[in-house]
Amino acid sequence: MRVLVTGGAGFIGTHTCLLLLEKGYDVVAIDSYINSNKKSLQRVIEILKSNKTTKDVSIKIFNIDIRDKKKLDELFLDAQNSGQPFKSVIHFAGLKSVKDSLSNPLLYWDANVKGTINLLNIMNKYKCKTIVFSSSATIYGLSDDEILSENIEIKPINPYGVTKAVIEKLLNDIFDSEPSCWRIANLRYFNPIGAHSSGMIGEAPIGVPSNIFPYITQVASGVLDKLTIYGNDWPTRDGSGIRDYIHVMDLAEGHISALKYLVKNNHQIINLNLGTGLGTSVLELVDIFERANKIKIPFEFSERRKGDSCKVIADNSLALSCLDWEPKRTLKEMCIDGWRWQSLNPNGY
Ligand code: UFG
C-alpha cells in the first residue's frame, strides 16, 4: 500500500519510514528540512540496504513544506497520474518546541495549523481520506489526573499544544462532515526517547535540547557540562518530575498498527494515547542511564520549570485493546539505544 509520510525526515518520521519500508509499504516521504536533516532518510536507506531482505526496497523523498499548496497538489496529482494514488497519510510535519511556540505563536499556527489545512484540502481533493495524525499528550495541559485517559478535558497551556488541539478539533469537524468517508487516528504521544538499535538514526535537536533525554545524552558525550533538574520538591517519590517515556521504535510500531486498524475497520475517528503506562522520575531516568551505559551524568537541581506538570502518565488501555500493539522496550533499552546513537553521532547527522 502507498503511504505519504509528512515530516518523514524528523525523529519519529525516520523511525516510522524505516518500519513501513521493512513491512513492505510503498513510502513517499516529504519534509521541509526546517528542523531536520537530509541525511536522516539516507541513513534509513543505508539500514535497509545492509539487510538482505530489504536491500531492494525504495522510498521516494521530496523537499516539500506542507504550507506549499502548489507542490503538495503536484505531488498528489503525480501519484494519481502514475496510477498509484495516495490512499493514506501519516502526518508528522510540524514544529514542536514549546518554548519557541511561546515566543512565536504565529509561526506555530502557520506551520502546524495552516500547513495541516493545506494538507487536508489536498487530501480531500484527491479523495485520500485516511490520516494518522501526530498529536501529543501536551493537549491535556496541567491536568489534575496523574494517569491520563483520552476522555479527560483538553486544555493545552502553550501555543504548541493549542495547535495540536486545534488540529484534532478540525479533524473531528471534517469527520463529522463526511462520517462515511474519513478514517482518522489522533495519536497522542507521551515522551518518546531512545533510537533505532543500529545507532544510525536518532533524535538530532538543533541547538541546546530542551527535552531531558537528548540533554542527558549530550552531557554523557561531553557536549554539555551537566544536567539541570527542574525541581526537587515535586510531590513524587523522590521529588523530581515523573513522565511516561516510550521507545521511539515502539511509537513507530504504534503508527503502523494504527494505520492497519483504520484500514481494516469502519470509518471512524479515534484518539489514542501512545505511552507505556509507566511513570519514571527524572532521578530514576538518570540512574538507569548511568547504570545501563556506565557513564556518570553530573547534575544540579534548579527551580521548577514554568508550565511543567508533576506527573504525566498515559492510560494506554484503549490503544492496547484496539491496536495490535503494545510497547515492548524497557527503559534500559531506551537508554542504551539512545546513547549508541549519540555516541556514534555526537554532532547529530
Ligand atoms: N527536565 C529536566 N531538565 C531538563 C529537561 C527536562 O529536569 O533539562 C524534566 C522536566 O522538568 C520533566 C521531565 O524532565 O519533569 C521531562 O521533560 P521534557 O522537556 O523532556 O518533556 P515534557 O514532558 O516537558 O514535554 C514533552 C515534549 C512535549 C510534549 C510533552 C507531552 O517536550 O512536546 O512531552 O507530554 F508535548
The tens digit of pLDDT for each residue in 327-342 reads: 999 999 999 999 999 9
Pocket probe for ligand 1: among 230, 234, 309, the residue whose CB has the most ligand atoms within 8 Å is 230
pLDDT tens-digit series, residues 4-61 = 999 999 999 999 999 999 999 999 999 999 999 999 999 999 999 999 888 888 899 9
At position 56, the amino acid (one-letter code) is: D
Cα 101 to averaged position of ligand 1 atoms, centre (Å): 15
187 CB less than 6 Å from ligand 1?
no
pLDDT tens-digit series, residues 217-274 = 999 999 999 999 999 999 999 999 999 999 999 999 999 999 999 999 999 999 999 9
DSSP 73: H
CA nearest 125: which of 114, 117, 136? 117
Place of cell 544540579: 300
pLDDT tens-digit series, residues 173-204 = 999 999 999 999 999 999 999 999 999 999 99
Task: Locate the DSSP E strands across the chain.
Answer: 2-6, 26-31, 59-63, 88-91, 130-136, 147-148, 183-189, 191-193, 227-230, 242-243, 245-247, 268-274, 280-281, 299-302, 311-314
Is 234 in contact with 155 (CB distance < 8 Å)?
no
Cα 126 to averaged position of ligand 1 atoms, centre (Å): 38
Q: What is the pLDDT of residue 101?
A: 94
Q: What is the pLDDT of residue 27?
A: 97
Three cell numbers written together for 172: 473531528
138 CB less than 6 Å from ligand 1?
yes
Phi, psi of 238 (to 5 degrees): -125, 10
Q: What is the pLDDT of residue 29?
A: 98
Active site residues: 160
Is 61 in contact with 8 (CB distance < 8 Å)?
yes
Place of cell 547529530: 348
Is 170 in contact with 335 (CB distance < 8 Å)?
no
CA nearest 200: which of 334, 47, 54? 47
C-alpha separations of 333 from 23, 90, 124, 238, 314 in Å: 23, 26, 41, 23, 20
Collect all residues with Cβ–Cβ distance below 8 Å to 105 and sequence separation of at least 6: 159
234 CB less than 6 Å from ligand 1?
no
Q: Is 71 exposed, middle or buried (0-12, 13-18, 19+ CB in 10 A)?
A: middle
Three cell numbers written together for 163: 495547535
Cα 265 to averaged position of ligand 1 atoms, centre (Å): 35
- The whole-number average pLDDT for the span 276-303 is 98
- The whole-number average pLDDT for the span 206-215 is 94
Collect all residues with Cβ–Cβ distance below 8 Å to 259 and sequence separation of at least 6: 3, 88, 90, 130, 132, 185
308 CB less than 6 Å from ligand 1?
yes
3-state secondary structure (DSSP) of residue 63: strand
80 CB less than 6 Å from ligand 1?
no
Residue 85: pLDDT over 90: yes
Q: What is the pLDDT of residue 55?
A: 83
Closest Cα to atom 14 of ligand 1: 212
Cα 136 to averaged position of ligand 1 atoms, centre (Å): 12
CATH architecture of structural domain 2-344: 3-Layer(aba) Sandwich (3.40)
CA angle 11, 173, 319 (to 5 degrees): 50
Is 132 in contact with 93 (CB distance < 8 Å)?
no
Query: How far is it, in rounded angstroms, from Cα 283 to Cα 231?
Result: 11
Closest Cα to atom 20 of ligand 1: 211
159 CB less than 6 Å from ligand 1?
no
Closest Cα to atom 21 of ligand 1: 211
pTM for the model: 0.97
Confidence of residue 145 (pLDDT cuts 50, 70, 90): confident
- The whole-number average pLDDT for the span 156-171 is 97
Percent of the chain scoring above 90 in pLDDT: 94
Percent of the chain scoring above 70 in pLDDT: 100
Alpha-carbon Rg for the chain in angstroms: 19
Residue 240, by phi and psi: left (phi above 0), alpha (psi -120 to 50) or beta?
beta
Q: What is the mean pLDDT of the chain?
A: 96
Query: How far is it, in rounded angstroms, from Cα 139 to Cα 155?
Result: 6
DSSP 224: S
Q: What is the pLDDT of residue 1?
A: 87
